[in-house]
Amino acid sequence: MFKFSVDSRKWHISIERSSSVHASNLNIKAPEDSPNTDGIRIQHSTNVTISSSTIKTGDDCIGIGDGSKYININRILCGPGHGISIGSLGENGRSETVEYVTVRRASFYTTENGVRIKTWQGGHGYARHIRFEHISFSRVIRPIIIDQYNCPPYQHCKNYSTAVEVSNILYNDLKGTTSGEIAVELLCSESVPCKNIRMKDIQLDYGINEIMADRSFHIAMYPWFALGHITPYVHMANKLAERGHKISFFLPAKTQHKVEAFNLHPHLITFIPIMVPHVDGLPLGAETTNDVPFPLHPLIMTAMDLTEPDIEAYLRQLKPHFAFYDFTCWLPALTRRLGIKSVVYCIISSATIGYLLCPARKTLEKGMTGSDLLEPPQGFPSSSIKLRAHEAQALAAVTTMDYGSGLSFAERQLMSLSDCDVIGFKTCREIEGPYGEYIGSQFGKPVIFAGPVVPNPPKIALEKQWEKLLSKFQPKTVIFCAFGSECVLKKDQFQELVLGLELTGLPFLVALKPPMGAETIESALPEGFQERLKGRGILYGGWVPQQLILRHRSVGYFVTHCGSGSLAEAMVSDCQLVLLPHVGDQIINARLMAGDLKIGVEVEKGDEDGVFTKYDVCKAVRTLMDHANELGKEVRTNHAQWKEFLLKPGLENSYMDDFVMQLQALV
């Protein structure tokens, strides 16, 4: 659960006279112009760890005061505010101390200060053994400060002969941009000077536009031939192009027209069509997983493997700095020969990869069974992710099946993650930070988070046919059900689904592929269903503009298969989430949403057979409809808070700026 604190009159969280405190996944917010609203204040405490949190205040994001020892600050997003401060120490001649503080992997966005040590003149004591490492700044006025001459504003302070000693301070790998002319300010006392201040790998640039112009780079992208992967890669390409970077995007020739409208920067993003070789067993003209049923997906992968000579020729010609990929496990060896950095940019959640595909699962090498997956791998972060028997069996079968060119899906992913230069995830630390860190430790690779990468709101209006159909219903009453472009239900489960929606008594729009064995969605409906639901139930067997429908005022509920793209769109909408996962990573995504984050209600299924009934569907929806239901209230509250967090001004920019800076560090 993510913990929120909003608009406290003073400090949001005070840790005082405490020991062995661990806090994570905090979201603290106060107005930028509110004085003395520190996010977290630590005093007279030892062994305190603050991690994976976002703090936006009018004062210090974190203030570390007298008597603090063995303090660990890790993965903090700070901004706006006054940064992370040690002090102030020694006011009114007091003897005050701070020691053994580590601040790592913090990101500062448009803050007044970055990392600061401040002490009063005339004080006594020390601030020592302090480490600031792997920190990024985006438009911070004063990124690095030591000030032993702290003095009240607008007062002339006497220069005392005593001061709080500042010693053994390390600044290592601090990078980013400053909006002030003085990036590093060391104001050390003449009588008690700073000692052993070490700086290593500091790179701070003045002005954001200049750095973007001077340091733009070229990225090649080659995602798995599935629209559910290609489309998120296009969204990521747009975010990088906004920062002046050039993208060469390889994709199947006949697929280009399907995503061309999403290219918001055609002067920087170039689609390069790839001819997909024919493989025996594939229908003629098949290019992506959308063109074939699931059992033929490995043949699409085999065809993609056969494009290696063409990709090598393009990369030799284009000479990009980076190559982004996901399933083409042969790409890192190729890019290494060409001097190109390889980035596994994962659309699959880090929770899924961490649970299923890490080296800690020794059974991956000899073949994994369902019983192996009933327990998480050794060292996996504590969470609510648990698999049912039928899910474990299905996931074991998928990960060990041949997935093209004689390699299993697990072998492909292990090779991709083991051989790359860096692993990137389309998510936030606040949502999946512990899982990303676990993967980094398992593979010995740097892991960077791109943030939510929420698609920009469509600039077009909803088509008239959908607007007319939806507008006749009251606000927040329509249930929208969509399962992506590949999910095909069995006929009996399709019927249970629509009958369950009927039982809710609410209007609904169902946009699904026809179930197995049916030519059309209408032919698969239960007898008498259309007559009973005329005017209340809308069923459609083709593509619909999901993002626009989720934003429509009449839509209040979203029954989703828990694909990562659908969840990203849903989390920033006002629709309440009903989770009905189908296959693969959707299962673990559902546990993450319903368990860790508690922002959706999952439809119950049989533990052994995975079958749901119409009553299970109705129960999940009604849990969210019932404003007196405690679980429903908790889920609605959490969803509203997460939506606010994900749409927070500056959040996505901060993540993307940090992502880019970490890529720049590689070259």
Q: How is residue 501 written in tokens? A: 């929606």
| 45 three-state secondary structure | coil
Q: Is the CB of residue 369 less than 8 Å from the CB of residue 396?
A: yes
Q: Rounded to the nearest 10 degrees, what angle do helices 409-419 and 429-443 cross at?
A: 90
Q: Do you find a cis peptide bond into 359, omega within 30 degrees of 0?
A: no
For residue 481, give the DSSP letter. E
82 classed as catalytic: yes
DSSP state of 376: P
Contact 599, 642 (CB under 8 A): yes
Cis amide prior to 52 (ω within 30 degrees): no
Amino acid symbol at 161:
S
First to last CA, the chain: 37
Do 141 and 109 meet the contact criterion of CB atoms below 8 Å apart? no
d(CA 84, CA 76): 10
User: Dihedral, CA atoms, 470, 474, 477, 483, nearest 10 degrees?
Assistant: 10
Q: Kindly list the distances between the CA atom of residue 132 and the CA atoms of 85, 172, 598, 657, in Å, as whole numbers in the listed order.
A: 11, 6, 34, 19
CA 50 vs CA 41, 72, 378, 552: distances in Å: 11, 6, 24, 39
Residue 107 tokens read as 């990101």
Go through the chain and tell me how many residues it has. 667
Q: 543 — phi, psi (to 5°)?
A: -75, 140
Q: What is the DSSP letter of 73?
A: E
Q: How many CB atoms lie within 10 A of CB 665?
A: 16
Q: Which two tokens stand for residue 519?
A: 């030519």
The active-site residue, picked from 12, 22, 44, 82, is 82
Q: Say how many CA atoms lie within 13 Å of 578 toward its Cβ.
A: 26
What is the C-alpha to C-alpha distance for residues 451 and 407, in angstroms, rounded to an integer? 31
Centroid of chain to Cα 502 = 35
Q: Are 381 and 435 in contact (CB under 8 A)?
A: yes
Q: How far apart are CA 317 and CA 309, in angstroms?
A: 13
Buried/exposed 294-329: b ≥16 CB within 10 Å, e otherwise: eebbbbbbbbbbebeeebbebbeebebbbbbbbbbb
Sequence-separated (6 or more) residues with CB below 8 Å from residue 420: 332, 342, 343, 344, 445
Q: For residue 129, what are the CA distances in angstroms to 85, 107, 169, 667?
A: 15, 21, 6, 31
CA 233 distance to own-chain centroid: 14
Return d(Cα 128, Cα 529) in angstroms, integer: 74
Whole-angstrom distance, CA of residue 416 vs CA of residue 445: 12
Tokens of residue 467, six digits: 């607007």
Task: Tell me the C-alpha distance between 379 and 87, whole Å.
Answer: 36
Give catalytic residues, as residue numbers: 82
